Amino acid sequence: MRLFSTAFLVFGVMVGCSSEDPFSELKQDAQQFQLERAAEMELIQEPDFLIGSYQTVNNIGSVAVDEAGRIFAVNRTRNRIEVYSAEGRPIQTLGKSGSDPGEFRQPELIKTDSRNLYAFDKSLQRINVFSLDDLNDISVLDLSANTLFETDSAQKVIPFTFEVLGEGELLTGFRITRTATDQREVYYRMNLKPDESPDLRLSDAVFEFEGNGLYVDDTRTTTVIMELPYLEETLIAAGQDSNLFMINTAEFLISKYDREGNAAGAFYYPMKKQRLNKEDVLNLYTNVHYRRAIRGADLPDTWPAVAKMFVDDKGRIWIATITEGLEKYRWYLLDKAGNPVGTFNLQRKQTIEAVHNNFIYIKRYNPNSYSLEIRRFYFVQK
């Protein structure tokens, strides 16, 4: 398959022709909701639930929860996956450092469906698939560009993320880089064959749009190449019934698609965006070269509206917005119809890793044990 055989989609530009607001047309057609209707939520921690400590696993990466409530956590130090019972008790480990099937060099992202655990290895550019029945590795999905595409020697193509669409079907994102400032992101549906063989059937691209690229400051002796923290980006999440949700973080404006990428509606939530102060951006960095690059960069007037998005096991959408300074996110919980039903604040350094059966699994740093840990919360409306 030739990589650039698909139509080029620039999300944000395609939805409107106004030079002042590229989203104006989509906003007009979208169903509009008022965030003020969201009820304030309180997160209550389960005192006896704890995963992670200096003695067990202290460098926790991605986390997933299966239908039985078992918790899977990437151990980034030992390049394996730790498996815990629904109560948080260690059960076993999956994989080890290496490059053979079922092994890892850099496990980056894990997700589940009703049958399998999928574990993406960033370094090996592949997905190890484990059966949830017996926790054995059953296949390896090779995502390297030279395996899947006819690539141009002038470009670099790497997989960087995936979503689970359904039984054995994945939506996998690839980043195509020609230069540091010229990047595209392309998403393909991938189907495992019925016999669970490692060969993949690759669809035409479902989405293709411009990536952010990197900021390059070559005005000084030391050239700086970095990601700017205030640039808008496009986020994609898979929901129930293989629905896909896409948001450009510039606006709280969610587009809904079917699994083939056909538009199926949009939700719009008007909100006031946070003013961007250069000193606030500089305070995010201690590296002197990064700080000099930021000082010379052109900054937008505001931060993006949205920082994070995911869909939970009940099809609800969780959105983190940038509204109350740089220490916290204001989270909103949307039901399947898009109605804002809850909201709460959470420290930015605390990340929601999974929501399953109305439990929220939050990863945070424990300064007493000098390690990352997973705590479980439930939520109630105030």
Q: Cβ–Cβ contacts within 10 Å for residue 232, how many?
A: 17
Q: What is the pLDDT of residues 286-325, one digit of tens each?
A: 999 899 989 988 899 999 999 999 999 999 999 999 987 7
Please write down the long-range contacts of 135-142, taking CB distance under 8 Å and 24 or more positions apart: 135/83, 135/92, 135/94, 137/94, 137/95, 137/101, 137/102, 138/196, 139/101, 139/192, 139/196, 139/197, 139/198, 140/101, 140/102, 140/198, 141/170, 141/190, 141/192, 141/198, 141/200, 142/198, 142/200
Domains contained in the chain, CATH given? 38-381 (2.120.10.30)
CA angle 19, 323, 34 (to 5 degrees): 75
Do 112 and 65 form a contact (C-beta atoms < 8 A)? yes
Q: Is the pLDDT of residue 88 over 90?
A: yes
Sign of CA dihedral 284, 285, 290, 294: positive
Phi, then psi, of 68 in degrees rounded to 5? -85, -5
Do 303 and 326 form a contact (C-beta atoms < 8 A)? no
Q: What is the pLDDT of residues 94-133, one digit of tens each?
A: 999 999 999 999 999 999 999 999 999 999 999 999 999 9
- Give the C-alpha distances (Å, rounded to integers) separating 214 from 38, 70, 221, 264: 36, 38, 18, 32
β partners of residue 380: 42
Among residues 312, 305, 258, 303, which one has the least CA distance to residue 280?
Answer: 303
Mean pLDDT taken over the chain = 89
Q: Is the pLDDT of residue 12 over 90?
A: no
DSSP-assigned letters across all residues of 306-375: EEEEEE-TTS-EEEEE--S-SSEEEEEEE-TT--EEEEEEEETTSEEEEEETTEEEEEEEETTTTEEEEE
Q: Cβ–Cβ contacts within 10 Å for residue 175, how many?
A: 16
Do 79 and 40 form a contact (C-beta atoms < 8 A)? no
Radius of gyration of the chain (CA): 21
Give residue 241's pLDDT. Answer: 82
Eight-class DSSP state of 229 = T
Burial of 20 (0-12, 13-18, 19+ CB in 10 A): exposed
Q: Is the pLDDT of residue 382 over 60?
A: yes
Give residue 213's pLDDT. Answer: 78
Q: Is the pLDDT of residue 233 over 90?
A: yes
Q: What are the tokens at 26?
A: 């989509």
Give residue 200's pLDDT. Answer: 57
Give residue 194's pLDDT. Answer: 52
Q: How far apart are CA 287 and CA 108, in angstroms?
A: 25
Q: What are the tokens at 360?
A: 């929220």
Q: What is the pLDDT of residues 338-370, one digit of tens each?
A: 999 999 999 999 999 999 999 999 999 998 888
Q: How many CA atoms lie within 13 A of 344 on its CB side?
A: 17
% the chain with pLDDT above 90: 66
CA angle 139, 235, 209 (to 5 degrees): 90
